[in-house]
Amino acid sequence: MVITEIFKSVQGEGTRAGLPCVFVRLTGCNLRCTWCDTAYAFHGGTKFGLDEILESVRSLAVDGAGRVSLVEITGGEPLLQPETPALAERLLGAGYTVMIETSGERFVGSLPPGVIKIVDVKCPDSGEPGTFDMANLEAVTQEDEIKFVIGSRRDYDFARDFTAHHRLAERVRQVLFSPVFPDPAGRWEGLTARELVEWILADGLPVRLGLQLHKFIWDPAMKGV
């Protein structure tokens, strides 16, 4: 497999935000979202065998007084690499709680049972609308989460209507609405959490606000956190 980085941090997003986590970031992505904050994972990387990845995860997970039990496979787009389901299976077999974060463009049904799927639905302002594989709506479970990254009122309206039309709150553990974080280099503007929260409250949506905790803890442009 081609790996951009393996590191230990805290989970920054979703219902497990704030928990210690080991991240395995795979190289490569076939989408080019307007506000992608991991473009450095598009190319390059280093080839690892599954045993090498498991050993790297293990060494980070036990580096301290306790054992980190949460592992996230991310990217890039991790489902572009055909070995990803096997990696997830190996991590599950080693006793980890395994999450995978994916753009939603690839079918998630190939992943082994027990993997927690965090599946994006791309909003219009992302530049990649319409890429979501609708078959994923039948592949997600009550253990999974669906996320919308929202940069404008247009994005919010899309996410609100998609959530209602497909009854997402009944399909998954949590629907996440996350505001776009402004680019430190000024390439794109963000959406304030307050504005997004006010829209959510006005419509009484059954969704959770998602904030990227790592960008408040460290410099927003820092890698490996």
Task: Retrieve residue 152's tokens.
Answer: 């404008």
CA atoms within 13 Å, Cβ hemisphere of 122: 22
- Please write down the HEC assignment for all residues of 162-183: HHHHCCHHHHCCEEEEEECCCC
In this prediction, residue 77 carries a pLDDT of 97
- Tens digits of residue pLDDT in 159-198: 999 999 999 999 999 999 999 988 888 888 899 999 999 9
10-residue averages of pLDDT along the chain (225 residues): 96 93 97 92 96 97 86 97 98 97 97 97 96 98 98 98 98 97 85 97 97 81 75
Task: Give this prediction's pTM.
Answer: 0.93
What is the enclosing helix (H) or strand (E) of 203? Answer: helix 193-203
Nearest to 191 by CA among 182, 202, 203, 183: 182
- Both structure tokens of 219: 């410099």
Residues 118-140: b if buried by 16+ CB within 10 A, e if exposed:
bbbbbbebbebeebbbeebbebb
Q: How far apart (Å, rounded) are the C-alpha atoms in residues 28 and 97?
A: 24
Token pair belonging to 213:
């905790």
